Every structure is written in structure tokens, then in C-alpha cells.
Amino acid sequence: MARAIAVVNQKGGVGKTTTVLNLGAALAGRNRRVLLLDLDPQECLTGALKVPSPEDGRSMHEVLTAGLDITQTLREVPGSTLFSSLTLVPAGPDLAEAEVRLIGEAGGQMVLREAIEGLARRYDYILIDCPPSLSVLTLNALVAAREVLIPVQCEYFALRRLPAMLRTVEKVRKRINRNLAVLGVLPTMFAHTLHSREALDFILKTMREQTVHVFAAIPRTVKLQDGAAGGMPILELARESDAASAYSALAKEIDA
């Protein structure tokens, strides 16, 4: 049975797409069947995986607005044997328009859940890359998912919205998706500076008080951005790096 995990934070630039890319690759490297859903109209995940922006109507837009069978949208991720069990549903250039249509549609927040129901036995993991907002697209992800992973950059401005994000997840759990649970908070972009260490300490203290699990921090490195720009996860670009080890450890812990 597939574990659907929404990677969510309403703040941009905290490492959501980087986490989906590298966690997905790390899980695929553990021989798990992984489906990635690019639910961000900015198409960051689609671009990071070097999958061309779809022009043939096979994207998340059509899944959400036209009821297209999601299996008709699957794209193989090119270029690596590591990706042999990794597939993607790309965002598409019209995904932003889907937000407008779903807002005015009865049950619009349930569309993604219905779309992935038939995939439960086909994949081990479904990772959903969400937009940096609490939009109807993000709500679809929270309704469809069983778990939420919240990347948080290790700096104070990024921490300000974390309590609100947790409250949103709890509201969705109580009102719409009773199976939803917080998988944990993932500190990202950790640097060996006083500010970064203090931010990490704050995350640990605050989440401990709320009994929310905190995963080991992902270190800051330019190689993560280089990998995304080149269509390669850190496990391929710099396998011996601390960041590669951190994402491997994250996949191992989640997959335990």
C-alpha cells in the first residue's frame, strides 16, 4: 500500500522541491517504487528532473480539472539507472488555472485523493511537491496524503510560519482527512553558524513540546542546487557528501 506524503510549507525557498527530488531518489535507490507529483505551478520539480513542460495535455492540470486517468500522465525520469523505479506526473503550464476552477467546484479539495486511489498497490511511495502557499492545490495534497513532511530552513524568518502550518494540518485532519498525520519536521540548509544552530535548537525545543518528530538536519551545500539545476539528485552528483548521507539517512528512517 502506497504511503502518500505531502511535502508542505507555505513559505517558499525552504527546500520542498529539493527534498522531494532527493528523498524520492534515495527511496528509489532502496528499490522502492516512487511516484512524484509536481503540484507547484512554478514547475520546479518538473524542471529539476529535466522533464519537458508537457504540451500534450498530460499533466497535473488535466488530472485535477478534466479527470484524466493519472496513469496516462506518468513520465519516466530520464538519464539514470538510479531512477528505474521513479516516475513523475509533471506540473504543466496551466496548473495555476486549476486553482481557480477547483475553488468553485463542489468537492474540489477531494480531486487528488480520488485520482491516486487506484495507485495504492502500484507504488510504495507517492511524494507530493506542494506550492509555497495554503492554496486549494495544497489542500488537495493534504486531503490526499496520509502523512505530512514539513521542511523548515534553519533561519528565524523561516520558523515564523511553522506553528501556523501545524495548525492547518490539524484542521484538515479534524475536518476532512482523519488519517492525516505529521510525519515530522525536516530542518534544511543547516550551516555551522551561530544563527543556524540557534534556529535548529528552537525547532527541536518547540517541536518536542508538541510531540512532533524532528528529523536530522540537511546541511547547506551548493551541490544540492547544482544537482537540481543539472537534473541529478545529490546521491549521483556527490554521493560522499554530507547532504547525500543526510538524505540517505532520511530515506532509511522513513522506510524503516
Q: Would you state the pLDDT for residue 251? A: 98
Global pTM value: 0.94
Q: Would you state the pLDDT for residue 176? A: 94
The Cα–Cα gap between 197 and 187 comes to 11
- Mean pLDDT calculated for residue range 148-156: 94
Reported as type and span, the H/E element at residue 153 is strand 147-153
Tell me which of 169 and 101 has the higher pLDDT: 169
**What pLDDT, in 10s, does the model give residues 59-115?**
898 899 888 888 888 886 665 555 677 899 999 878 888 888 888 788 889 999 999
Does the pLDDT of residue 192 top 90, yes or no?
no
Helix (H, G, I), strand (E, B) or coil at 125: strand
- Mean pLDDT calculated for residue range 213-242: 83
Using CA atoms, how far residue 168 sits from 12, 107, 220, 224, in Å, is: 17, 18, 28, 29
Q: Residue 88: beta bridge partners? A: 36, 75
Here the CATH number for the domain that contains residue 75 is 3.40.50.300
Tell me which of 78 and 120 has the higher pLDDT: 120
- Contact (Cβ atoms closer than 8 angstroms) between residue 147 and residue 3: yes
Does the pLDDT of residue 122 top 60, yes or no?
yes
- Mean pLDDT calculated for residue range 167-188: 96
Looking at this protein, which amino acid is placed at residue 50? Answer: K
Tell me which of 196 and 79 has the higher pLDDT: 196
Instruction: Compute the mean pLDDT over every residue in the chain, rounded to the nearest whole number.
Output: 89
Helix (H, G, I), strand (E, B) or coil at 45: helix
Q: Would you state the pLDDT for residue 8? A: 97
Q: Would you state the pLDDT for residue 92? A: 81
**What pLDDT, in 10s, does the model give residues 43-73?**
999 988 888 777 777 889 889 988 888 888 8
Structural domain span for residue 213: 3-254
Q: Would you state the pLDDT for residue 80? A: 52
Q: How many domains does the chain have?
A: 1
DSSP letter assigned to residue 86: E
Q: Would you state the pLDDT for residue 179? A: 95
Average the pLDDT over each of 10-19, 80-89, 111-120, 241-250 and give the range with the smallest value.
80-89
The number of residues making up the chain comes to 256
- Contact (Cβ atoms closer than 8 angstroms) between residue 51 and residue 79: no
